Amino acid sequence: MKRKTIRTIAMMTALGCCSCPVLATDGATSEVPGKVPAGVQVAEEYTHLLPRLGDDAIATRVTMKAGKGITVSRNEGDDVRGVYITWYSAPAQLTVVRKGADGKPLKKERIAGESHRQYFEMGQDCTELQISSQKGEYTPAEVRVIHAGETVPFSGTEADVLVFVPAPGDEYTLYGGLLPRLVKNGYRVQLVYMEKGDRQTEEESLKALERLGVDVMPVFWGLSAPRNADTAAQAKAWKLELKKRSAAKLIETVAPKLVIAPSDAEGSGLPLGACAAGSIAAEGTEKANLAEKPALYLAGTAGTATIDWTADDAHDTAESLYASFDTQWIYHRALPETLSFADGADLSPFKAGTPAPVTHEQTEPEGAENGDDLWFRRAGEPAEVVEADVEKGVWSYRSDTLSVTVERHEEPETPLVWHVAHIRMRERNSFRSVIAADIGKQPRLRAWRMARKQKAVLLITGDNLTTSETPVKGMLIRNDRFYADRGYEDSMYFDDGLGMTIIPRKTLDGMETLEGGIRDVYSFGPVLVEDGEIQWEKIERHRVANNGNPRCGVGMVEPGHLVAIVVDGRQKEFSEGVDLRRFARMFLDEGCSLAYNLDGGGSTAMVFMGENLNQHGGQSWDKQRFLPEALMWGYSELVPTEDEPVSNIGNGWGNLKDIKA
pLDDT of res. 145: 94
**285: amino acid identity, one letter:** T
Give yes or no for residue 226 having a pLDDT over 60: no
Per-residue pLDDT tens for 173-225?
889 999 999 998 899 999 988 877 788 889 999 999 999 999 999 988 764 33
Q: Quick one: which of 403, 404, 407, 406 has its CA closest to 373?
A: 403
The average pLDDT across 642-649 equals: 91
CA distance 104 to 67: 18
Query: Of 252-256, 343-347, 368-372, 524-528, which range is least confident?
Result: 368-372
Contacts of 293 (CB under 8 A, 6+ apart): 280, 285
32 falls in which pLDDT band (50, 70, 90)?
A: low
Give yes or no for residue 372 having a pLDDT over 60: no
CA distance 271 to 164: 11
Helices (H), 115-198: 170-173, 178-184
pLDDT of res. 232: 47
Helices (H), 543-611: 580-589
Q: Quick one: which of 144, 138, 123 has its CA closest to 40?
A: 144
CA distance 310 to 341: 17
The average pLDDT across 513-540 equals: 93
Are 399 and 377 within 8 A, CB to CB?
yes
Are 489 and 20 within 8 A, CB to CB?
no
Q: How far is CA 18 from the centre of its chain?
A: 9
Q: Quick one: which of 411, 405, 407, 402 has its CA closest to 431?
A: 402
CA distance 331 to 219: 24
Q: 491: which strand partners? A: 503
Give yes or no for residue 120 having a pLDDT over 60: yes
What is the pTM (predicted TM-score) of this model? 0.81
Q: Quick one: which of 265, 253, 294, 292 has its CA closest to 277?
A: 294
pLDDT of res. 445: 93
Query: Of 141-145, 325-329, 461-465, which range is least confident?
Result: 325-329
Give yes or no for residue 285 having a pLDDT over 70: no
Mean pLDDT of the chain: 82
Are 617 and 581 within 8 A, CB to CB?
no
